[in-house]
Amino acid sequence: MNLVDPDKYRLPVRYGPEMRILVVGGGIAGLTLTGLLQQRGFKPTLVEQIPEYGTIGYVIVLWPSGSRILKGLGVYRSLLDVGLQFTTYNVSDERGQMLHSYSVQNVIEKYGPMLSTYRPDLINVIKEAVDPDSIRMSTTVDKIDQTNDEVYVTFSDGTEETYDLVVGCDGVRSKTRDLVFGDVPLSYSGMTGWSFWVKPNIAKTLQIAEYWGTGKFFGIWPTKGRLSVFTSIRDNVQEPDPVESRIDRIQENFKNFGGLVPAILEGLNDPNEIFHGYYNDLRMKKWHKGRVVLVGDAAHAILPTAGGGVSMAMESAAVLVDELCRADSKYIEQAFESYITRRRSRVDKIQNQSRMMSKFAFADSRLVSSMRDFLMRFYSNKLHVRYWDSMLKEPI
Ligand SMILES: Cc1cc2nc3c(=O)[nH]c(=O)nc-3n(C[C@H](O)[C@H](O)[C@H](O)COP(=O)(O)OP(=O)(O)OC[C@H]3O[C@@H](n4cnc5c(N)ncnc54)[C@H](O)[C@@H]3O)c2cc1C
């Protein structure tokens, strides 16, 4: 005979917006997720490690599949105010000879504008939809423990709280992931590079211009009133990049490039204003463990070559919120599984695409890059539109 009532010690079930949610990381995914949750009556807490939002980041191109999430958040008009709609994408060889100029006009007519934004502007736009009182700046998580029913979190300021679920949106080097999933290695692409701003008097273009060399890439990305450069070179061993000789290295690597590149290289003067990074992506078998789930780069960082990381982070945030609306604290893992099922194949596809594009755009043998340049002449605008169709027409 069973004398213990199994329900006696169970915690009360919390339904939908009643659930206690912690979001770690207030970047693109974290703010989008928090804003969408609040819109639906949830009361999440968001912790962000930096003391204040500043000027971190360069130009981000938002796909219509990402930016339409801001329509639902009610901040799309603000995005249009700060974004630059680009219509043309020019690819040249390293000497500056145009391989192809692609119009994205047909893509825009079908799916909406392709907008390039200054990352801090995009952050400010999404922040408009988030209750400032729900954000704890200068705060991170130091400890995360969980049982079948709850998650216990210790914050960097020593305080402790209990949640029904925790969402890790803390980027490619996620601490939430480290604390809960252990060491999950990033996949290094063999590419490293520099990003920096170009003074508008040095080069003017309102369209994306890319120069493809042998194992080297130089991309010029404009947004409203600003021009950023994103470069990449092959570097299999992750060479160190001392700041004091950074400009010399960039100039040496791209000295044979033509078009707008020589003028831009000439104008480089402050190595401290140049960002250097090693490009990684991340593939994880599981994006959740118990009551902790990952979103955005923390779960599925994507190489910058496809230019889809931000849109994927926003799409994933929107899908998770959608699932949480129909969830409760008891069956939360079911909601996580549905979120992952809905997102997995699309994210895999974009990750594969970005890996393939990196092999193509950064081809490191002279023979392969010559063949690529030759083939680019036959990669028509029609094929380019078909590529975008395959990226944008499927449901998120
Ligand atoms: C050079 C480069 C160029 C790129 N260009 C593009 C592009 O043109 N288009 C595009 O779509 N994508 C681009 N990406 C990718 C894009 O930046 C990311 O995919 C996107 O920012 C992911 O959003 P996220 O919210 O997951 O992470 P992030 O935007 O990185 O946000 C993570 C947030 O978490 C915070 N955080 C970190 N650790 C902690 C912690 N322990 N506790 C609390 N908070 C924490 C961070 O301060 C940050 O605010 C580029 C990436 C690189 C490296």
Contacts of 179 (CB under 8 A, 6+ apart): 141, 143, 144
Distance 100 CA to ligand 1 centre (A): 30
Distance 121 CA to ligand 1 centre (A): 14
17-85+114-187+283-361 domain in CATH 3.50.50.60? yes
d(CA 115, CA 70): 12
Distance 259 CA to ligand 1 centre (A): 30
Distance 316 CA to ligand 1 centre (A): 14
Q: Which ligand 1 atom sits nearest the alpha carbon of residue 140?
A: 42
- Nearest residue (by CA) to ligand 1, atom 3, is 304
pLDDT the model gives residue 223: 94
pLDDT the model gives residue 9: 63
Domain boundaries, the chain: 17-85+114-187+283-361
Pocket of ligand 1 (CB under 6 A): 24-30, 47-50, 60-61, 140, 169-171, 175, 195, 230, 277, 296-298, 302, 304, 307-311, 313
- Nearest residue (by CA) to ligand 1, atom 51, is 304
Contact between 277 and 260 (Cβ < 8 Å)? no
Query: 36: which 2 tokens?
Result: 């969408």
pLDDT the model gives residue 364: 85
Contacts of 223 (CB under 8 A, 6+ apart): 59, 83, 84, 116, 117, 118, 121
pLDDT the model gives residue 201: 80
pLDDT the model gives residue 317: 98
Distance 56 CA to ligand 1 centre (A): 10
- Nearest residue (by CA) to ligand 1, atom 4, is 304
3-state SS, one letter per residue, for 248-314: HHHHHHCCCCCCCHHHHHHCCCCHHHCEEEEEEECCCCCCEECCEEECCHHHHCCCHHHCCHHHHHH
Out of 297, 354, 357, 392, mutate this one to test ligand 1's pocket (max ligand atoms within 8 Å of CB): namely 297
pTM > 0.85 = yes
- Nearest residue (by CA) to ligand 1, atom 42, is 140
Q: Which helix (H) or strand (E) segment is 229 a member of? A: strand 226-234
How far apart, in Å, are the Cα atoms of 103 and each of 68, 221, 360, 380, 384? Answer: 21, 16, 20, 10, 9
pLDDT the model gives residue 206: 82
Q: Determine how many CB atoms are found less than 10 A away from the CB of residue 160.
A: 10
Distance 170 CA to ligand 1 centre (A): 8
- Nearest residue (by CA) to ligand 1, atom 31, is 27
Residue 222 CA, chain-centre distance (Å), reads 18
Exposure on the CB side of residue 390, measured as CA atoms within 13 A: 11
Out of 23, 32, 49, mutate this one to test ligand 1's pocket (max ligand atoms within 8 Å of CB): namely 49
pLDDT the model gives residue 1: 53
- Nearest residue (by CA) to ligand 1, atom 29, is 27
Beta-strand pair 151-155/141-146: antiparallel
Per-residue pLDDT of the chain (396 residues; tens, 9 = 90+): 556 665 666 789 999 999 999 999 999 999 999 999 999 999 999 999 999 999 999 999 999 999 999 999 999 999 999 999 999 999 999 999 999 999 999 999 999 999 999 999 999 999 999 999 999 999 999 999 999 999 999 999 999 999 999 999 999 999 999 999 999 999 999 999 999 999 878 877 788 999 999 999 999 999 999 999 999 999 999 999 999 999 999 999 999 999 999 999 999 999 999 999 999 999 999 999 999 999 999 999 999 988 899 999 999 999 999 999 999 999 999 999 999 999 999 999 999 999 998 888 888 889 999 999 999 988 999 999 999 999 999 999
Contact between 351 and 297 (Cβ < 8 Å)? no
d(CA 28, CA 309): 10
pLDDT the model gives residue 11: 80
Phi, psi (deg, nearest 5) at residue 150: -150, 165
How far apart, in Å, are the Cα atoms of 283 and each of 140, 172, 184, 319, 353? Answer: 24, 11, 9, 19, 14
Q: Which ligand 1 atom sits nearest the alpha carbon of residue 66?
A: 11
- Nearest residue (by CA) to ligand 1, atom 37, is 170
